[in-house]
């Protein structure tokens, strides 16, 4: 396995070396627009990955070759900690994942619109004004801070007032899910909230959840089911609340690997 950093012309700017239980890349220069990361693994599977120190090391599912476009433009960076991907010293690490138990299988702070081969991956049919602070990836980044809205640390999935808004999480492989947790954005009275949400898996099985005006994660046990993707849809806003701005802070899918 190894990691490479390439510039906009695909010239290799850095390559990892063996380290610990995997490999590490120390990149001692600032990133430029168009720089991207290529991750090579011997076979698709679960790996412990760190692409930036401020985002930390996380378990993700990688295809044999994965690509990550480094967010360098200010508009691309609003959903990340201010220090993420900045400076002239960066540590990237990769190793095979160890023994895993029950966990949130939807978590992936390294997701964004242009990742390839890194899962889970979130997409949506609408994101408020196309801004990164309201992108689908924010719903799986593991940040539960929800008492305001806008740039980090208050990023969320914003639906642009669209009652037909849908968010899909693709896990990249079959997993066994037994519980869904939803954390709505709670910037009241600016925000409204949903009273009902539906979740449909890739096999067409649908669960309907009743939601409350609650800033904490709302937990919904379900029958243990093997899925490879989940879609959140039919989000019903509280009819009596004047605010038109319900939003989602986190979607969690708890379970185990198949």
Which tens digit of pLDDT belongs to each residue from 46-57?
Answer: 999 999 999 999
Q: For residue 92, what pLDDT is reported?
A: 98
Q: For residue 223, what pLDDT is reported?
A: 96
User: How many other CB atoms are found less than 10 A from the CB of residue 132?
Assistant: 22
Residue that the structure tokens 């990550």 belong to: 68
Which tens digit of pLDDT belongs to each residue from 86-118?
Answer: 999 999 999 999 899 999 999 999 999 999 999
Q: What is the CA radius of gyration of the chain?
A: 19
Q: 172 with 121: CB under 8 angstroms?
A: yes
CB neighbour list of residue 184: distance below 8 Å, 6 or more residues apart: 146, 191, 193, 194, 211, 214, 215, 218, 246, 247, 248, 249
User: How many other CB atoms are found less than 10 A from the CB of residue 52?
Assistant: 23
Beta bridge partners of 23: 18, 94
Q: Average pLDDT, stretch 136-157? A: 98
Q: For residue 186, what pLDDT is reported?
A: 98
Comparing CA positions, the residue from 56, 59, 45, 47 lying closest to residue 3 is 47
DSSP state of 204: S
Which tens digit of pLDDT belongs to each residue from 4-48?
Answer: 999 999 999 999 999 999 999 999 999 999 999 999 999 999 999
DSSP state of 109: T
Q: Average pLDDT, stretch 151-169? A: 97
pLDDT band, very low/low/confident/very high, at 150 (cuts 50, 70, 90) = very high
pLDDT band, very low/low/confident/very high, at 163 (cuts 50, 70, 90) = very high
**CATH code reported for the domain at 117-257:** 2.60.120.260
Residue that the structure tokens 């480094």 belong to: 70
Q: For residue 60, what pLDDT is reported?
A: 98
Q: For residue 74, what pLDDT is reported?
A: 96
Beta bridge partners of 124: 167
pTM for this structure?
0.97
Residue that the structure tokens 């010293």 belong to: 89
Q: For residue 218, what pLDDT is reported?
A: 98
Tokens of 60: 């993700």
Q: Domain extents for the chain?
A: 2-100, 117-257
Which tens digit of pLDDT belongs to each residue from 120-130?
Answer: 999 999 999 99
Instruction: Using a pLDDT cut of 70, give the percent of the chain over it.
Output: 100
Q: 184 with 193: CB under 8 angstroms?
A: yes
Q: For residue 7, what pLDDT is reported?
A: 98
What whole-number distance in Å separates Cα of residue 62 and Cα of residue 39? 8
Q: For residue 48, what pLDDT is reported?
A: 98
What whole-number distance in Å separates Cα of residue 113 and Cα of residue 123? 8
Q: 100 with 249: CB under 8 angstroms?
A: no
DSSP state of 51: S
């Amino acid at each position: 396995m190894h990691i490479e950093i390439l510039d906009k012309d695909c010239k290799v700017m850095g390559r990892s070396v063996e380290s610990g239980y995997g490999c590490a890349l120390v990149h001692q220069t600032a990133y430029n627009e168009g720089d991207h990361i290529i991750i090579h693994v011997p076979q698709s599977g679960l790996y412990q990955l760190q692409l930036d120190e401020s985002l930390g090391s996380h378990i993700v599912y990688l295809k044999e070759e994965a690509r990550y476009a480094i967010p360098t433009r200010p508009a691309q960076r609003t959903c990340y900690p201010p220090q993420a991907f900045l400076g002239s010293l960066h540590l990237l690490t990769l190793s095979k994942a160890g023994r895993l138990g029950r966990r949130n299988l939807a978590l992936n702070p390294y997701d964004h619109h242009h990742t390839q081969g890194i899962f889970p991956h979130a997409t949506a049919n609408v994101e408020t004004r196309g801004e990164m602070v309201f992108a689908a990836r924010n719903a799986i980044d593991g940040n539960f801070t929800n008492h305001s809205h806008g740039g980090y640390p208050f990023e969320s999935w914003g639906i642009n007032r669209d009652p037909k808004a849908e968010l899909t999480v693709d896990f990249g492989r079959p997993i066994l899910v037994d519980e869904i947790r939803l954390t709505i954005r709670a910037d009241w009275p600016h925000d409204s909230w949903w009273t009902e949400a539906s979740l449909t898996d890739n096999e067409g099985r649908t669960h309907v959840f009743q939601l409350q005006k609650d800033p904490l994660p709302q937990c919904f046990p379900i029958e243990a089911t093997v899925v490879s993707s989940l879609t959140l849809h039919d989000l019903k806003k509280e009819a009596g609340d004047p605010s038109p701005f319900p939003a989602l802070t986190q979607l969690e899918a708890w379970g185990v690997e198949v």
